[in-house]
């Protein structure tokens, strides 16, 4: 018997009109990515899925990015986002014999300025829910199904499908993922790129210009924090570079993924306007100064991360941070994505 095996969700920390809305460095892809990563953390064994079904405004131009995020090949389907199609997809993915799959519902509205949330169709605001389906899962009861079918948005329907969430609705549902981010309560929304007045996506940065092939090549290290353990001398090399940093051997390396949560901050700096590399001009023009931290992923591996969802300087040395895939900067006609440090929130334990 197939059914729902687990549900993971993510709602952004910013608020507008009381509803969770995405921050300036979030979009449909990053919302989906966060829910998918949480779903993977939740799975006790590293059991991959064969198919990813996406509901919401995730552009198909980013289909290449999901196998990179997951670390293995996956078949991707995009579906029209409404409660009925979500239920149909879950039924279809639940058919006996269907391979394990992830159904991800995303609510993201590029048009919604924080001062106006009219374009968000449901009552749950923005966010993403990832359903893991496969053998041994729980079937969905008829009453739950009916409630989901009559929901106002695909995200509302997704929340209605998971009774532990529905029980806490509506009071906790908008904040169930932890307190509001420590940043400005209602930050200005980023204009969408390509909307005419936004930044020029084709702008060539004078700063740390990274050609697209190198960006893609480095993503396993940047997104999945992939390091190499040397079985000859025991050293860890991060980011992975195909050669041990201690003994220089390349024949005894195996991949090791470093933890994405709980990194300890060991150094911090705030970049004021004018001090940024040019690829961050757009971000600084919109959000002002930003913080960068050096954090320990493990005793042997450090990483430099921009901080998001917080006041510049709000993360202190010794603090723990989570990491999350966010928009970094526009380059060569597209957004580049990478990990940023997120100040630890008190997570609802049922969300992982
Ligand atoms: Zn070595």
pLDDT for residue 287: 81
pLDDT for residue 59: 93
- Smallest CA-to-CA distance from 76 within 91, 66, 86 is with 66
Strands (DSSP E) along the chain, which ranges? Answer: 2-10, 14-16, 19-21, 51-55, 75-79, 101-107, 127-135, 226-230, 236-237, 253-257, 263-271, 290-298, 301-306, 320-331, 334-343
Task: For 107-134, give the DSSP string.
Answer: E--TT--TT--TT--SSS-SEEEEEEEE
Burial 85-116 (b: 16+ CB within 10 A, else e): bbbebbeebbeeebebbbbbbbbbbeebbbee
- pLDDT tens figures, 298-322: 999 999 999 999 899 999 999 999 9
Distance 248 CA to ligand 1 centre (A): 6
Distance 244 CA to ligand 1 centre (A): 5
For the four alpha carbons of 228, 52, 260 and 215, in that order, the dihedral sign comes to positive
Distance 251 CA to ligand 1 centre (A): 9
Distance 204 CA to ligand 1 centre (A): 38
Mean pLDDT score of the chain: 82
Pairing state of beta strands 75-79 and 51-55?
parallel
Distance 252 CA to ligand 1 centre (A): 8
Distance 234 CA to ligand 1 centre (A): 6
Distance 221 CA to ligand 1 centre (A): 18
Total residues found in the chain within this entry: 352
What is the Cα–Cα distance from 186 to 193, expressed in whole angstroms?
Answer: 20
- pLDDT tens figures, 83-140: 999 999 888 888 767 788 999 999 998 765 444 555 677 888 899 999 988 877 777 8
pLDDT greater at residue 96 or residue 260: 260
- pLDDT tens figures, 213-255: 999 999 999 999 999 999 999 999 999 999 999 999 999 999 9
Burial 149-175 (b: 16+ CB within 10 A, else e): eebebbbbbbbbbbeebeeebeeebbb
pLDDT for residue 266: 97
pLDDT for residue 185: 33
pLDDT for residue 167: 47
pLDDT for residue 298: 95
Domain annotation for the chain: domains and CATH numbers: 2-168 (3.40.47.10), 260-352 (no CATH)
Distance 245 CA to ligand 1 centre (A): 7
Distance 242 CA to ligand 1 centre (A): 11
Distance 231 CA to ligand 1 centre (A): 7
Distance 300 CA to ligand 1 centre (A): 13
Distance 220 CA to ligand 1 centre (A): 21
Q: Strand pairing partners for 256? A: 227
pLDDT for residue 162: 76
Distance 339 CA to ligand 1 centre (A): 27
Distance 306 CA to ligand 1 centre (A): 30
């Amino acid at each position: 018997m197939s059914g729902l095996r687990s549900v993971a969700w993510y709602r952004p920390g910013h608020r507008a009109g009381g509803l969770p809305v995405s921050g300036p460095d979030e979009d449909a892809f990053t919302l989906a990515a966060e829910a998918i990563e949480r779903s993977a953390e939740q799975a006790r064994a590293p059991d991959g899925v064969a198919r990813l079904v996406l509901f919401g405004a995730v552009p198909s131009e980013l289909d290449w990015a999901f196998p990179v995020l997951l670390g293995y090949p996956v078949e991707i389907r995009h579906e029209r986002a409404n409660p009925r199609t979500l239920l149909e997809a879950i039924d279809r993915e639940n058919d006996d014999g269907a391979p394990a799959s992830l159904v991800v519902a995303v609510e993201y509205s590029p048009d919604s300025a924080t001062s106006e949330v009219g374009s968000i169709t449901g009552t749950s605001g923005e966010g993403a829910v990832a359903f893991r389906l496969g053998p041994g899962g729980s079937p969905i009861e008829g009453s739950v199904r009916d409630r989901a079918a009559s929901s106002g948005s695909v995200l509302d329907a997704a929340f209605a499908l998971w009774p532990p969430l529905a029980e806490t609705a509506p009071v906790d549902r908008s904040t169930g993922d932890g307190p509001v981010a420590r940043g400005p309560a209602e930050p200005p929304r980023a204009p969408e790129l390509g909307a005419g007045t936004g930044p020029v996506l084709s702008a060539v940065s004078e700063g740390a210009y990274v050609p697209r092939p190198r960006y893609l090549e480095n993503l396993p290290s940047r997104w999945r924090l992939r390091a190499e353990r040397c079985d000859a001398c025991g050293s860890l090399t991060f980011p992975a570079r195909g050669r041990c940093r201690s003994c220089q051997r390349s024949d005894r390396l195996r991949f090791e993924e470093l933890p994405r949560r709980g990194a300890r901050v060991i150094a911090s700096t705030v970049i004021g306007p004018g001090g940024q590399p040019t690829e961050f001009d757009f971000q600084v023009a919109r959000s002002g100064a930003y913080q960068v931290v050096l954090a320990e992923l493990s005793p042997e591996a450090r990483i430099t991360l921009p901080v998001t969802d917080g006041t510049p300087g709000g993360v202190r040395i010794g603090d723990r941070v989570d990491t999350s895939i966010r928009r970094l900067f526009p380059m060569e006609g597209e957004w580049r994505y990478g990990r940023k440090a997120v100040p630890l929130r008190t997570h609802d334990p049922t969300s992982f």
